[in-house]
Structure 1
Amino acid sequence: MIHGTRLRTVFGALAAAAAVAAATGCGGGGAEGATGGADGTMVLATTTSTQNSGLLDELVPMFEKSGDCVVKPVAVGSGQAMAMGEKGEADALLVHSPEDEERFMADGHGSSREAVMHNDFVIVGPPDDPAGLGGEDDAAAALKKIARSKTPFASRADDSGTHAKELTLWEQAGVDPGGSWYVETGQGMGETLTVANQKEAYTLADRGTYLATGNLASEIAFEGTKALYNEYHVIVAEKAANTGCAEEFAAWIRGADVQQDIAEFGVEEHGEPLFFPDAKN
């Protein structure tokens, strides 16, 4: 159990609830509210990292132009996205929490799960690196240094794939984080990066969102180990009300042309890709 300082503001909670309510038709929930019937609309529950990085804004219009499906994207943590899929409130999921995804599939909540892309997680923090992470070669050991020094750390604390990875690393480090140095934002990646920047704190972020978030003094303090690998899969929900569009999207995003677009996304602006394609074509 984590007992750190909570910044889970009313605004953050309402924003997440409003996003889900807008997609599900607010009132009744369930599959009928999720897709609006047979009008060609599908709900895509996806991670905040795909939204904060700008990738979602690129992909959705492209997919809609490719056929007759209309997408209602909902950017939430991977855990919440899978909860929507389980309840029939989302047709397709684009998520990055592999162990949770495997349980989701084993429990019969998904009809298919396919690799789409990957990037990696990085630990970012103040430019002077007060916890001294620069000399470390192990991510868990880097987090242990943060805990020992009680340098502020901002956690998403939102049941996202990033949060799941963070908790795994704390467990590997043998640390139960808590106290005034451990700040739980309860928000998405972009917002958490902003909080970390303001508080001169470290945080765990996906590289794509970090690169796409401007006006940050925070710098990468630790990167490059296998433990920080970050993979994304597309899942068609078993309870999808618009199975046709969900399956079409899953095939489309793994197609050769779209995979090439993913490989090139961010290169012009940031000098490097934000994601790397994983579908085998």
Structure 2
Amino acid sequence: MPIQRRTFLAAAGTGAVAGLAGCSQILGGNDQTAGVAGETLTLTTTTSTYDTGLLGELNGPFEEMYGVSVDSVAQGTGAALETARNGDSDVVMVHARSLEDEFMRNGHGVNRRDIMFNDFVIVGPEGDPAGIQGMASATEAFTTIANSESMFVSRGDNSGTHTKELLIWEQAGVEPGGDWYQETGTGMGEALNIANEQGAYTLSDRGTYLSQRSEIDLVILVQGPIEGGPETLANPYGIMAVNPAVHDVNYDLSMAYIGYITSPQAQDLIDGYRANGEQLFFPRALSEDPDFQQYVPEGWSSNATSG
């Protein structure tokens, strides 16, 4: 690992970095794993994959299979991509396609794959002071919250969730601000806790909300598409290797990880992962009719030169 990446991981501290110890043995003596055994993969990813516990479930089998360790840095999507842009990450797992496309177009990422999805939900106090419960439109719900000046907690951290929130405000024609709107600059779990303490609304990914539901009093008031809500609240996750032509990264191990995450084994783990009896994420890497656009940024073909 380059010196600057070691320094970054040390500075991040235990609150941001979940180092998952790897097994020192290569299962079955597979020669394919010999080239990477004993190495460390640096993964920057969203707080939702870490806060829900899914990351530990996925990384353990990979570490055992290859005899490696995974240093997982949990950040908002924007911060995770910035870390990778600085060459401090080998592979990135995030959930904001517009930011992913920018990362790819600027040459920092390669070999993007869809891996899973869930959706966003609008949660708030059971009393629902703004009266948004059951609304079929996220923009209508946000407009109603703003017009009533009901408390709203925003992550304010350039994460995938924050990016989606800002898009909804833009679609609603609302510029949020004032005493009713609070930006926390925190991960999803902490934003939910703050909203719970203040009796406020917030936008959450379904997975993090379900994993914390037993500890908070907030309820889902506007559903995402998994439960028949608007498609604008869809929440797809992708994974990309950091471009080895631009940064000094462990590309071989990155591609091994991408291959594992998109394999039947890992996709089954995603499908079977539960918290409080609820499925948090849904696999999407394997399909009889794969979506070609998962590999390239939006608009890439229109910018390409035909030969």
User: What TM-score does the superposition give when structure 2 sets the normalisation length?
Assistant: 0.78
Tell me the CA shift for residue 220 of structure 1.
Answer: 0.3
**Counterpart in the other structure of 1:55:** 54
**Counterpart in the other structure of 1:246:** 254
Return the match for 1:277 from 277, 283, 291: 283
Partner deviation per Cα, 1:229-278 (whole Å, 9 max, x = no partner) = 00000110012511111111111011001101101101xx4333100001
Check conservation: 1:139, 1:169, Cα contact below 8 A.
Answer: yes
Tell me the CA shift for residue 26 of structure 1.
Answer: 4.3
**Counterpart in the other structure of 2:304:** none
What RMSD in Å do the two structures reach over aligned CA positions? 1.7
Tell me the CA shift for residue 85 of structure 1.
Answer: 1.1
Check conservation: 1:23, 1:73, Cα contact below 8 A.
Answer: no
Does the alignment pair 1:210 with 2:209?
yes
1:173 maps to amino acid: A
**Counterpart in the other structure of 2:233:** 228
Check conservation: 2:58, 2:269, Cα contact below 8 A.
Answer: no
Which has the higher mean CA deviation after the structures are superposed, 202-211 or 78-87?
A: 78-87
2:56 maps to amino acid: D
- Alpha-carbon distance in 2 for matches of 1:26, 1:75: 13
Alignment: residue pair count: 250
User: Greater relative contact order: 1 or 2 (C-alpha under 8 angstroms, separation 6 or more)?
Assistant: 1
1:47 maps to amino acid: T
Shift of the 259–153 alpha-carbon distance from structure 1 to 2, 3 Å rule, reads: same
- Alpha-carbon distance in 1 for matches of 2:143, 2:71: 40
- Alpha-carbon distance in 2 for matches of 1:260, 1:136: 33
Shift of the 24–215 alpha-carbon distance from structure 1 to 2, 3 Å rule, reads: closer
Identity %: 43
**Counterpart in the other structure of 1:154:** 153
Check conservation: 1:23, 1:72, Cα contact below 8 A.
Answer: no
- Alpha-carbon distance in 2 for matches of 1:26, 1:209: 26
SS of 1:114's partner is: strand
Tell me the CA shift for residue 108 of structure 1.
Answer: 0.7
Which has the higher mean CA deviation after the structures are superposed, 159-168 or 56-65?
A: 56-65
2:252 maps to amino acid: G
Does the alignment pair 1:118 with 2:117?
yes
Check conservation: 1:96, 1:161, Cα contact below 8 A.
Answer: yes
Return the match for 1:258 from 256, 266, 284: 266
SS of 2:153's partner is: strand
Tell me the CA shift for residue 103 of structure 1.
Answer: 1.1
SS of 2:257's partner is: helix
- Alpha-carbon distance in 2 for matches of 1:133, 1:209: 21
Check conservation: 1:154, 1:182, Cα contact below 8 A.
Answer: yes
SS of 2:107's partner is: coil
Partner deviation per Cα, 1:47-70 (whole Å, 9 max, x = no partner) = 000011110121122211111221
* Pairing of 1:24-63 with structure 2 (within 5 A): 24-26=9-11, 40-63=39-62
SS of 2:279's partner is: coil
Unaligned runs of at least 5 residues, structure 2: 13-35, 224-228, 288-307
Which structure 1 residue ranges, 4+ long, deviate > 3 Å from structure 2? Answer: 20-27
Check conservation: 2:57, 2:269, Cα contact below 8 A.
Answer: no
2:270 maps to amino acid: I
* Pairing of 1:67-82 with structure 2 (within 5 A): 67-82=66-81
Shift of the 26–190 alpha-carbon distance from structure 1 to 2, 3 Å rule, reads: closer
- Alpha-carbon distance in 1 for matches of 2:135, 2:44: 36
Unaligned runs of at least 5 residues, structure 1: 1-19, 28-37
User: What TM-score does the superposition give when structure 1 sets the normalisation length?
Assistant: 0.85
- Alpha-carbon distance in 2 for matches of 1:136, 1:73: 37
**Counterpart in the other structure of 1:32:** none
1:181 maps to amino acid: W
Tell me the CA shift for residue 185 of structure 1.
Answer: 0.6
2:188 maps to amino acid: M
Shift of the 234–216 alpha-carbon distance from structure 1 to 2, 3 Å rule, reads: same
2:220 maps to amino acid: I
- Alpha-carbon distance in 2 for matches of 1:106, 1:220: 36
SS of 1:204's partner is: strand
